[in-house]
Every structure is written in C-alpha cells, then in structure tokens.
Amino acid sequence: MSQAALPDGTRFVLPDTAARRDELRDLLRDLYHAWGFDQVEVPSLERYDPGHPRAAQSFKLADRDSGVLALRTDFTPALAQLVRAAHPAVAGGARRPVRYQYAGTVWHAIDPELARTREFTQVGIELIGVSNARADAELIHLARESVRVVGLEPRVEVGNPGFVRAAFDAAGVPGPLRDLAADAIDRKDRSDLSGVLAPAGLATASVDALLAIPDLYGGTEVLAHARAAVPWPAALYEIDRLEGVLREFEDDSELMLDLSMARRLSYYTGVTFRAYTPDFGQPLLGGGRYDGALLPAAAGFSLGLERLMRAVARRRSVSETEPLVLAFDDAGARRLRAAGVRVVRALDAEIEAVRREARDLGIPFVLADGALEAIDPGADVERLAELRTVLSGGGGA
C-alpha cells in the first residue's frame, strides 16, 4: 500500500479529540431536543447545482450515468428538499412550524489556508413554516444557549440585511454597484463606500445617510442612531422589525446590534446573527432568516464543531468515560459492561502479561480468573469495592 499524504485540509481525529467532539455534539443535540427540534438526516451526496451559492466550493463527482454529483457544502438545500417531500403543505406556504436539527460532515473545496479545513462537522437547526418575531427570537435564544451549554460566555450580534437593502432602494443605488457597496458596508469601510457611490451621482443627503451605516453597531442605542441617520420609511420599517425581535428578550445584555451586517443581501431576508465568545477572534455560529429563497418561511443557523472545540478550554472527558477495566474473564466483563462500565478485552493470557497490558493502556483495574485487582497500589479503593459489588451481582455501578 502506498504511503500517500492525506488530501489537503483533511485530518485524523485521535481518541481524546473524538471524545471531546462527541461530548459537545451530545450537549448540543440534547439542547435542541429539549426545545423540540427533531433530528433528521439527509444524503451527503447531492445533485450538482451550478446555481447553489457555494457551487464553486463543492467537490464534484461523476455519476455512472454521466450526471454530476457534489458533496454537500451545507445542510440547508437538502433540508429544504426534505421539507418539500415530507411537508408539501408547509412548502406550499401553510403556516405550521417544523423544527429540525442535523449534524454531519460537510466538504468545502477551498484553498486550505488560514487554518481552514476542507472537511468538517456542521451542527445546526432550522425552524421552518413560521416567519415572525417570536420565531426569530427563538433562534437567537438557541444561538446564545448553544454557546452557553458548552461552557462559554455567549455574545450574539444581531443584524438585519433588509435594512441595508431598504436604504439602497430608497437612495436609488444602481444595481451594478450594490454588491460593492454592500461589501464596503459590511467591512465598515466608509472610505471605500464613498468611492463606490461616487459615480452614481446620488443626492448628498442620501450619500450621507448611506455613509452612516458602517458605524451603526453597538448596543440597543444603535436603533435610535439608525432612525436619526437613515430616516427613509422602508428603512425605519426594518429597524422596527429588528426592535420587535429584541422585545422578545427579557435579558438582552448578551446581545449586540450590527445594522451594517450586509453579507448575502439577496439570500437573507430578515434578521441575521452571529455568536461569539470573549477572547476568541472568530464567530462560533451564524445564521438568519431566508424566507422565499428555498421555502416560503425558513430560518436557521449552523456551527462548526471543530472551531467550537478550539474555543472550548481543553478539558479531559469525564473520567467515567475512560476504560476502567482490562478483562480476561468474558463473563465478568459482560456483567460490568451491563452496569455501564467500560471494559477492554485483554489480548494476553498470562496474568503478568495482562497487568503489563493494562499499564501500557493506562487502565487501572484488571479482571482475570474471577478476581478484580488494581494494578497500582495507589488506586481508588472505593471504586474497586464498587466494581467488586457489581461483579458479585450486588447492584448497579
């Protein structure tokens, strides 16, 4: 067999990391489950669609019949398809909430620079079928809880690309300049923005209002600033909409506003948000409302599990998940496993060799010839007594 290098941007996951990743994954699944989000699975192979926003970033595969397939780059399109198949009424516009959660691998065919991997795990939720402030608030609540549940301090920034779009409409920014102008606003780059707008010949008051947008971020005071600086009715309507979402929160201290969030203006139709944690320089989670793009009413978010792991302080998995017993004796091993103890099968037969094997694997107890012993004199004697009780049939561990 050849010793070829791994493909760029892929990696092995060793037991410690795998265990921590599963732990985070379980915490998130239980959180979303507790809020009524049901788990679904979708295929990782999709029909290649050149119109998909991430089409250029997908790994393509030739199908047998000369069709082209792609590895999924995110879950949203497949989930929308699932909803169209399973809930045709909702897909047709009926108002009925459908709550789904998902987790799995996604692949991005990008230059693996800036520490980005090309294969990673995405976890997320979608709330489909209802579009109102309470639905938006539910997702923002869960974005905040997703960060909290893994033991980090959450900060969630909330924006509304509809505001920027309304301002463009009202000011009469010509279509061809809109992407560049939105990009400059999203980068808070007023100097670039004034350069982009210069050839459009807009009224001075309109240019001034647009140039105020990059600085409209901060706490709730931003809403008042925005009303004063960008006073077009359609823009005010979008500010009201955002305020309506914020009213759903009793405690909005962990929320921040950013009215200059302006990425993917043609996709997101309502609130968008990102979650951060202090002293970690990258967003942990992102999402928003995209009514009409794939389904009449839909919103959701996703997070990258590998990045979340980097943000979480290194902590070992709880000790109970480490293998506890190395057993030569299969009947005893069965009894211990039935009580939830992790038991590894000894591959040596002779007792000294089994003890050595346990020492090499870092397993504290050995079960051989019907006897359970600790290989280290400093072992946890209470734990040993507990395990002996289980072995003799005296109740659970």
Partner 1 sequence: MSGARVGDGVRVAGTLVLALPKGRVMEESLSALRSAGLRLEPRGAGRALRYDAGDAVVIEMRNADVPTYVELGVADAGVVGKDVLLEAGSRLAEPVDLGLAACRLSLIRPRGASTMIERVATKYPRLTAAYLGRIGSGAEVVKLTGNVELACLTGLADAVVDVVQTGGTLRDNDLEEVDVIAHSTARFVVNRASLKLRSDRLRPLIEALRRHPGAR
What is the Cα gyration radius of the chain? 27
Q: CB-wise, 64 or 315, nearer to partner 1?
A: 315
Q: CB-wise, 267 or 280, nearer to partner 1?
A: 280
Task: Choose which of 188, 227, 241, 264 interacts with partner 1 (CB under 8 A).
Answer: 188
Q: CB-wise, 141 or 188, nearer to partner 1?
A: 188
Q: CB-wise, 136 or 306, nearer to partner 1?
A: 306
Number of residues that bind partner 1 (CB under 8 A): 32
Sign, CA torsion 37/41/45/47 = negative
Backbone angles phi, psi at 275, to 5 degrees: -110, 140
Stretch 307-336 residues interacting with partner 1 (CB under 8 A): 310-311, 313-315
Q: Is 220 in the site for partner 1 (CB under 8 A)?
A: no
Q: CB-wise, 264 or 383, nearer to partner 1?
A: 264
The span from the CA of 364 to the CA of 161, in Å, is: 57
Task: Choose which of 256, 326, 367, 387 interacts with partner 1 (CB under 8 A).
Answer: 256
Q: Is 217 in the site for partner 1 (CB under 8 A)?
A: yes
Per residue, the 3-state secondary structure of the chain, as one string, reads CCCCCCCCCCCCCCHHHHHHHHHHHHHHHHHHHHCCCEECCCCCEEECCCCCCCHHHCCEEECCCCCEEEECCCCHHHHHHHHHHHCHHHHCCCCCCEEEEEEEEEECCCCCCCCCCCEEEEEEEEEECCCCHHHHHHHHHHHHHHHHHCCCCCEEEEECHHHHHHHHHHHCCCHHHHHHHHHHHHCCCHHHHHHHHHHHCCCHHHHHHHHHHHHCEECCHHHHHHHHHCCCHHHHHHHHHHHHHHCCCCCCCCEEEECCCCCCCCCCCCCEEEEECCCCCCCCEEEEECCCCCCCCEEEEEEEHHHHHHHCCCCCCCHHHCCCEEECCHHHHHHHHHCCCCEEECCCCCHHHHHHHHHHHCCCEEEECCEEEECCCCCCHHHHHHHHHHHCCCCCC
List the x/- string, 95-114, binding to partner 1 by CB under 8 A: -------------------x
Q: Is 53 in the site for partner 1 (CB under 8 A)?
A: no
Task: Choose which of 53, 104, 112, 218 interacts with partner 1 (CB under 8 A).
Answer: 218
List the x/- string, 138-167, binding to partner 1 by CB under 8 A: --------------x--x-x----------
Least Å distance, CB 190 to partner 1, is: 7
Q: Is 176 in the site for partner 1 (CB under 8 A)?
A: no
Q: Is 213 in the site for partner 1 (CB under 8 A)?
A: no
The gap from C-alpha 108 to its chain's centroid, in whole angstroms, comes to 15
Q: CB-wise, 130 or 261, nearer to partner 1?
A: 261
List the x/- string, 266-305, binding to partner 1 by CB under 8 A: ----------xxxxxxxx----------------------
Least Å distance, CB 388 to partner 1, is: 36
Task: Choose which of 21, 54, 141, 190 interacts with partner 1 (CB under 8 A).
Answer: 190
Q: CB-wise, 186 or 238, nearer to partner 1?
A: 186
Least Å distance, CB 198 to partner 1, is: 13
Q: CB-wise, 157 or 238, nearer to partner 1?
A: 157
The amino acid occupying position 32 is Y
Chain residues that interact with partner 1, rule: CB under 8 A: 114-115, 152, 155, 157, 186-192, 194, 214-215, 217-218, 256, 258, 276-283, 310-311, 313-315
